[in-house]
Structure formats: C-alpha cells, structure tokens
Amino acid sequence: MGEIATSNRQITLFYNSKSEIGKQTLAYAKSERLKLEDIDILKAKLTGTQIVELAEKLHIQVASLINQEHPSYKSHFDHHNLSTDDWIKMIQHNPEIMKQPIALHGDKTILVQTPTDIIKI
C-alpha cells in the first residue's frame, strides 16, 4: 500500500510554487473550483516512498522524474547514470528539479503539460 492517499472526490496536485506552470495550474484548478489538495514540493519534503510511488503512478522510472533541462540541474549536475536511491536523494535535496505539476485523482495520474490538463483528470 502506498503512502500517497488518493480520492475520487478530490485532485491531489504536487507542484512547485516557484515554477510558472505550477502556479498557473494551481490558479486554473482553483478558478474551475476543483476540489483540490495542493502540495508544494518546495515546502513539503517528499519521502523516498512518495517519489517512487509518483514515478510508478506515471509509469516511468524515478530518473525520468528529473527535469534535466531545469537551470538548477544544469548548473549543479552533469548528465548522470545513477541508482534509483541516488535519484531519490537528488530530488529530496533539490526538489525544484522534479518534473511537475503532477495531478492525482483516484486511479489516474498525469504529468501536467499545460494548466488546462488538470481538467482531463
């Protein structure tokens, strides 16, 4: 059983409050009056289990949760081929490099590409 509680009654949104798409997605969801639990990944430290669970729900590897195009990643890291545990630690210590926003609703999980994607879930 996972650590992330999901519900068919609300959307859980993992987002970065400093990213434009994160702020826009949250604002759009609120403007549409969607029942929402928002989790700012910069403020709420994700556990390793939560990171793995998000990757599994998206059907990707933990390494694929890393936005290697993010300026913080480019300025601090080279392209790596690390273990899952190392990728988890990288996200935990540098949450801004995680791809986001991620929306969960019941059994559905999406990586939001544009703010309006949130209504697809």
Question: How confident is the model over 2-57, as pLDDT tens digits?
Answer: 688 888 899 999 999 999 999 999 999 999 998 999 999 999 999 999 999 999 99
Q: Where are the domains of the chain?
A: 11-120
Q: What's the 3-state SS for the chain?
A: CCCCCCCCCCEEEEECCCCHHHHHHHHHHHHCCCCEEEEECCCCCCCHHHHHHHHHHHCCCHHHHECCCCHHHHHHCCCCCCCHHHHHHHHHHCHHHECCCEEEECCEEEECCCHHHHHHC
pTM of the model: 0.91
* Higher local confidence (pLDDT), 98 or 74: 98
Give the CATH superfamily of 11-120: Glutaredoxin (3.40.30.10)
pLDDT greater than 60 at residue 1? no
- What average pLDDT does the segment 84-105 reach? 94
